Amino acid sequence: MRISQAGFVKARQLFAMHQGMLRTSEAIRLGIHPRTLYALRDSGELEQVSRGFYRLAAKPALTNPDLVAVALRIPRAVICLISALSYHRLTNEIPHSVDVAIPSHSQIPKLGGIPLRAFWYSEPSFGAGIQTVSIDGIAVRIYSPEKSIADCFKYRNKIGLDVAVQALRTYRERARQSDLNRISKFAALNRVEKVMRPYLEAVL
């Protein structure tokens, strides 16, 4: 089957109308023939962001492809801990994997090519403090700075108490944006208020 130029033009236009990115199933539903899709991929006009997702290669490079891939492939997950601190610029730690929160008893997700570190969160902690931010035009679920700090104290044995303390200090230095009362509420939710109290008092 020969692919018409009209088919290529239509495919390019549809990708452009959707911020340059489409899921394979969505592209086909919109009328892009699979052969057209794969021909554009093979020619280099489309690049594969993650399994089942393609974007126009001419678009500016993704600023955070790992977080975008997680949001696309594991929509229920929430970016947490060091990955969240890094996004909020509260740590100098370089994430070697993407930390994601998933509901208790959920299956650990897999994402080919991207190392994940999954943490089971029970309610109400899992659903608290979630922000939806736009990264490269994709909605990404991530915990707020205050929730992320409280979570780091909860998981201090896994990520290091020094990381949690430094994040708290960095947060406090941003006087106009800081809200220690919100951190205290999340600390109570995570049952680490006694652990955090001396550190909160130290930064007052």
Q: pLDDT per residue over 27-83, tens digit each?
A: 899 999 889 998 999 999 998 887 778 888 888 888 888 898 899 888 899 999 999
Measuring CA to CA, how many Å separate 36 from each of 55, 87, 101? Answer: 14, 36, 37
CATH 3.30.460 matches 65-203:
yes
pLDDT higher than threshold 60 for residue 1? no
Rounded to an integer, what distance in angstroms lies between the CA atom of residue 125 and that of residue 128?
5
Sorted by where each begins, the domain ranges of the chain are 5-56, 65-203
Q: Label residue 158 by pLDDT band (50, 70, 90).
A: very high
Q: What is the pLDDT of residue 127?
A: 96
Measuring CA to CA, how many Å separate 102 from each of 75, 78, 106, 116, 126? Answer: 10, 7, 7, 12, 7
Please give the backbone phi and psi of residue 94, each rounded to the nearest 5 degrees, phi first. Answer: -95, 115
Reported as a single tens digit per residue, the pLDDT across 173-195 is 876 657 888 999 999 999 999 99
Structure tokens, 204:
């007052």
Q: What is the pLDDT of residue 175?
A: 60
Q: H or E element: which one contains 199?
A: helix 193-203
Rg (CA), the chain: 21
